[in-house]
Amino acid sequence: MYIEYTENQKALRLRVREYMRERMTPALLEEKKNPDFFEGGGPEFRKQFAQMGKDGWISMSWPSELGGQDASALEQYIFTDEVMRSTFPYPFLTTEAIGPVLAEYANDEIREAVVKGILQGETVIAIGYSEPAAGTDLASLKTRAVRDGEDWVINGQKMWTSLANFADYIWLAARTDPDADKKHKGLTMFLVPTDIAGYSCNPVWTLGTRTNATFYEDVRLPDKYRVGEVNKGWQLITGQLNRERLSLVNHGMIEALYTETAGWAAATMDRDERPLLEQGWIQHNLARAKVGLEALRLMCLKQAWAIDQDQLGMAEASVAKVYGTEFFVEIYRLLLEVLGQAGTLKQDSQGAILKGKLEHRYRVGSILTFGGGANEVQRDIISAAGLSMPRGR
Amino acid sequence: MDFSYSEEQLEVRALARQILGDQTGNERQQQIDAQEIRFDEKLWQDLADAGLLGVALDSERGGMGFNFETLALLLEEVGRTVAAVPVIPALVTAALPLQRFGSEAQKHACLPGLANGKHLITAALIEPGNEDPARPYTGATAAGAGWVLSGSKHCVPYAQQAEQCLITAQAEDELLVFLLPLSSPGLTLKEQASTAGEPQYQLDLESVALGESVLIARGEQALELVQWMQQLTRAAIAAMATGLCDAMLRMTAEYTSQREQFGVPVATFQAVGHRAADCYIDIECLRLVSQEAVSLLSLGLDAEQATTIAKIWTGDVCHRVSQASQHLHGGTGVDRDYPLFRYCLMARQLELSVGSSARLLEQLGTDIAVSFTSSGLETID
C-alpha cells in the first residue's frame, strides 16, 4: 500500500493548477457574476474553454480509439480536482459522460461534427433526463418520440435542464415504445440541436443558480440525431455513471475553501487584537472540517485507483456519492460559522468575506444530495449490494 | 498510488483469520468470559506457534520481519473476532518502541520470548488524572548510577501477566523511559475492572530502584519514543476498530435480514437499511484513514496528523456503529448469550483509549492553527 501521488502525478497536478490559474482570467471572474453565465456560456468562457480544447486537455481521459489520450482514472481525477478547485465552469458532463458515448454510438456524420466540437472546446451539451414527473424514478419519463418517415417527432417537457440556456445540444431521453413490458426498455437517446424549430427554454431560478425548463413541441428531428439503437437508451444513460459520479464529488474545491477560511482566520484580528484562529471554537470547526476532508480525499483517490484496477464495487461508488455530497453541506456550515454573521454577505456586497464564496456555495450545495441519484436510492444500493440486505417492495 | 496489499500480507491475513476464526466462537468466548482473567492463553500460544506474534519483529529476534502494515492486518482480524489477546499492548505499544530504541540486551531479554509466546510485555501510558505519557506525575530521582521511581500508573493492560512494562517517569530535567521489571521490590499491582473485561491494573511504585540496564531512552529521544508510541497505538486501535465495527455491522445486517416483524424481514424497512448504510459509510471512512495512518508509519513518514485523524474517526465510528447495531438488534443485542455485547464493550474501550475524539479534535485544531499562523498557508495535498 502506498497512498501518495507519484512524482509524475504530483507534476501533473501542479501543471493543471498553473494552467487553470491562467484560464481564470479577470474577465471570466467578472462574467461569472452574471447569474446567466455562472455555469459558463459567456464569451470569455467560450474563449477559455476552446483554449483548453486546443491545448489537448479535454481529450485527456478519452480512450485513444475515440481520439483521446488514455489517461488513467487517477490522472483524470487529478485534472477534475484541480479544475474544480479553480472554479472554472468546466462542463464535465459534456466532456466526461456524454462525449465518449457519442464517440462510440453516434452516427458518422454527427460524430464527425459533435465529437470534434466537444474535443475542441466549442460544443456544450445539456442533459435532458428529468421531467416534472420523472426524477429519481427516471425510467417513468413521458417525453415522446414518434417515428415519421426519416424523422422523429418529439413532444414533451424536460426539467432542471442545466446549461440549456447556452448549450448547443440537448442530450435527450425520450420514450419510443410506450408498450414495452418494462418502462426502462422503451427509451431512446437523441441529440437535439437547440436552434431547431419547436424547441424552447425557460429559466428556472433556484436557491443557488440558474437552471432551465425545456420544451419540445412537434420538434421534427432527422434520424441521424438518434444515438444508439431504438429502445436501447437506458444502457447509454447508466453506462457512464461511475465516471460521472467521480466528477460530482471531489475534494479540491472544498479543500481550497477550507484553506482560504483558515488563512482568513489567521490574518483577521478579534476585538482583543489577537488572530481569530486562536479561538478554540474556530480551531474546533477547522479540525472537524479537516477530519472529514481527509476521509473524502482518500475516498476519491481510492475510487479513482479502483476504477483503474477495474475493481470499483457498486456499493463503493454510492458510498462516495452519499458521503461526499453530505459532507459538502456539512463543511460549508463549519466554515460559515468561522466567518460568523458576515459569512452571509453576498459576493460584491460591502463587507463580504472571501468574495462571498461560502455564501454562494451553501446555496448551490444542497442540490447534490438529491441530484445525480438521490441519496436515499444510494443508501438502498449500499445496504443491498454492500451488506446483502433484502430490499422492500 | 496503491491501495492493495501484497501477496505476503494477504497470506498473513488469511492465516490470522483462520486461527482466530476457529477459536473465537460464542461458546469459546463464554468460557473465556467465565475465567478469572479474561485472557485466552491457548489462542495466544497458537498465534505464537504460527509466527503471528512476531509478524513485525526482526528476524534475528525470532520474528517474521514484516512491517507495521502487516501487523495491522492481524490487529484488524483480532478486532473482527474480539479475541481476548493482548495484541496492542504487547505487540505494538511495548514491542515496537523497544525494538527501535532498546539496547541489545533489553531486546534479547524480551523479543524472542514475545515472538514464541513465552514472555509477555506491556506498556503503561496513563496515570490517575493524567493521560499524557510525556508529562508523567511519576517521578525519578537519581540515586548513584540508577534512579528511584515513585508514582502510579493505571489501566495498565495485562500487567499481572507480563514480565516487563514500558513506563515513563519525569526526572529533574528530562523525561525517562524504562523497561520496568514487574517483579521489582516496591511495586504493587491492584486489579481494575474495565468495561470490556480486559485485565487491567493500577501499578503503584513506592521507591522502586532501577538501574541503567533498564533505561530505554532519555531526554529528546524519550520524547520521540513517546510520541511514536502514541502514534503507533492510535493507528493500531484504528485498525482493530475497523475489523470490530465491520464485524458488528455484518452481524447486524444478517440479523435484520432474518428477523421478521409485520410479516417481513426488518431489513426490508428503509429506515433499517439506511441506518445500516450509514454505518457502512462510516466504516469505509474509518478504514481509509486507518490505512493511511498505518501506511505512513510503515513508510517512516510523518504520521502525527494522520494518526490523530484516524483516532478521531475511531472514536466516532465505534460509538455510532455500536449504538446502531445494538438498536437494530432490539433486545437480542443486549442479551449476553448473543455475541454482540462483547463488540459493543470493546468499541467503547477503543473509543476512549489513547485520546478521545473531543481531546484529539482540540489537539488537531491547535496544530492546524499553528500551521496556518506560522506559514500563512498549510501545505495543500
Per-residue confidence (pLDDT) for residue A119, from 0 to 100: 94
- For residues A332 and A362, the answer to whether their CB atoms sit within 8 Å is yes
Interface of B with A in 99-118 (CB under 8 A): none
Find the CB nearest A3 among B1, B5, B267. B1
SS3 B206: strand
Suggest the residue from B256, B278, B282, B285 to mutate for an interface test with chain A (most A CBs closer than 10 A): B285
Q: Does the annotation mark A244 as catalytic?
A: yes
What is the average pLDDT across B302-325?
98
Place of cell 459538502: A328
d(CA A390, CA A385): 10
Per-residue confidence (pLDDT) for residue B381, from 0 to 100: 43
B256 touches chain A (CB under 8 A): yes
Band the pLDDT of B169: cuts 50, 70, 90.
very high
Q: How many CB atoms are located within 10 Å of the residue B8 CB?
A: 11
Q: A1, A13, A9: which is closest to A255 by C-alpha?
A: A13
Per-residue confidence (pLDDT) for residue B378, from 0 to 100: 46
What ranges do the domains of chain B cover? 7-119, 123-217, 221-375
A175 min Cα distance to partner chain B (Å): 30
Per-residue confidence (pLDDT) for residue A393, from 0 to 100: 67
A296 min Cα distance to partner chain B (Å): 8
Find the CB nearest B268 among A9, A290, A390. A390
Interface contact flag, A294 B250, Cβ < 8 Å = no
Select which of A82, A131, A244, A316 is catalytic: A244
Q: Residues A36-40: contacts with CB within 8 Å, 24+ apart?
A: A36/A165, A36/A166, A36/A203, A36/A210, A37/A166, A38/A89, A38/A209, A38/A210, A39/A89, A39/A162, A39/A163, A39/A209, A39/A210, A40/A89, A40/A90, A40/A91, A40/A124, A40/A163, A40/A166
Identify all chain B residues contacting A295, using CB atoms and an 8 Å cutoff.
285, 288-289, 313
CA A374 to each of CA A324, A326, B38: distance values in angstroms, whole numbers, following the listed order: 13, 11, 47
Instruction: Spell out the domains of chain A, with CATH numbers in brackets.
Output: 7-90 (1.10.540.10), 127-231 (2.40.110.10), 249-386 (1.20.140.10)
Band the pLDDT of B282: cuts 50, 70, 90.
very high
Q: Which residues pair with A342 in a beta bridge?
A: none
Interval A296-337: pLDDT, tens? 999 999 999 998 998 888 899 899 999 999 999 999 999 999
Rounded to a whole number of angstroms, the distance between the first and last alpha carbons of chain A is: 42
Phi and psi, residue B267, nearest 5°? -60, -20
Band the pLDDT of A100: cuts 50, 70, 90.
confident
Indicate whether A60 pLDDT > 60.
Answer: yes
d(CA B237, CA B240): 5
B302 touches chain A (CB under 8 A): no
- For residues B69 and B42, the answer to whether their CB atoms sit within 8 Å is no
Pairing of strands B187-193, B199-210: antiparallel
Burial bucket for residue B127 (CB in 10 Å: 0-12, 13-18, 19+): buried
Task: Tell me if domain B7-119 and domain B221-375 are identical in fold.
Answer: no
Interface contact flag, A287 B376, Cβ < 8 Å = no
What is the average pLDDT across A194-207?
97
Q: What is the mean pLDDT of chain A?
A: 94
Interval B170-216: pLDDT, tens? 999 999 999 999 999 999 999 999 999 999 999 999 999 999 999 99
Indicate whether B379 pLDDT > 60.
Answer: no
Per-residue confidence (pLDDT) for residue B312, from 0 to 100: 98
Band the pLDDT of A247: cuts 50, 70, 90.
low
B374 touches chain A (CB under 8 A): no
Q: Which residues pair with A212 in a beta bridge?
A: A203
Interface contact flag, B270 A376, Cβ < 8 Å = yes
A351 touches chain B (CB under 8 A): no
B312 min Cα distance to partner chain A (Å): 8
Suggest the residue from A74, A283, A338, A377 to mutate for an interface test with chain B (most B CBs closer than 10 A): A283
Nearest chain B alpha carbon to A75 = B1
Q: What is the ipTM of this complex?
A: 0.95
Query: Is CATH 2.40.110.10 correct for B123-217?
Result: yes
Find the CB nearest B361 among A278, A284, A316. A284
Superfamily designation of domain B7-119: Acyl-CoA dehydrogenase/oxidase, N-terminal domain (1.10.540.10)
Interface contact flag, B253 A383, Cβ < 8 Å = yes
Nearest chain A alpha carbon to B379 = A259
d(CA B346, CA B350): 6
Indicate whether B31 pLDDT > 60.
Answer: yes
Fold entry, domain B221-375: Butyryl-CoA Dehydrogenase, subunit A; domain 3 (1.20.140)
Q: Which residues pair with B126 in a beta bridge?
A: B154
Per-residue confidence (pLDDT) for residue A373, from 0 to 100: 86
B376 touches chain A (CB under 8 A): yes
Cell of A169: 445540444
Interval A276-294: pLDDT, tens? 999 999 999 999 999 999 9
B320 touches chain A (CB under 8 A): no
Find the CB nearest B265 among A9, A378, A390. A390
Between A and B, how many CB-CB pairs are < 8 A? 164
Identify all chain B residues contacting A266, using CB atoms and an 8 Å cutoff.
369, 372-373, 376
Pairing of strands B260-261, B264-265: antiparallel
- For residues A322 and A375, the answer to whether their CB atoms sit within 8 Å is yes
Nearest chain B alpha carbon to A257 = B380
Band the pLDDT of A241: cuts 50, 70, 90.
low
Per-residue confidence (pLDDT) for residue A179, from 0 to 100: 95
Please compute Rg for chain B using Cα positions.
21
Interface contact flag, B1 A9, Cβ < 8 Å = yes
A253 touches chain B (CB under 8 A): no
Rounded to a whole number of angstroms, the distance between the first and last alpha carbons of chain B is: 14
B375 touches chain A (CB under 8 A): no
d(CA B356, CA B236): 15
Indicate whether B265 pLDDT > 70.
Answer: yes
Residue A45 sits at the vertex; the CA angle it makes with A40 and A50, to the nearest 5 degrees, is 120
Phi and psi, residue B141, nearest 5°? -110, 130
Per-residue confidence (pLDDT) for residue A170, from 0 to 100: 98
Q: A255, A294, A253, A356: which is closest to A32 by C-alpha?
A: A356
Q: What is the mean pLDDT of chain B?
A: 97
Per-residue confidence (pLDDT) for residue A90, from 0 to 100: 95
CA B306 to each of CA B67, B232, B292: distance values in angstroms, whole numbers, following the listed order: 18, 11, 7
Interface contact flag, A295 B285, Cβ < 8 Å = yes
Distance, C-alpha B24 to centroid of its chain: 19
Cell of A172: 435527450
Band the pLDDT of A371: cuts 50, 70, 90.
confident
Per-residue confidence (pLDDT) for residue B380, from 0 to 100: 45
What is the average pLDDT across A23-29?
97
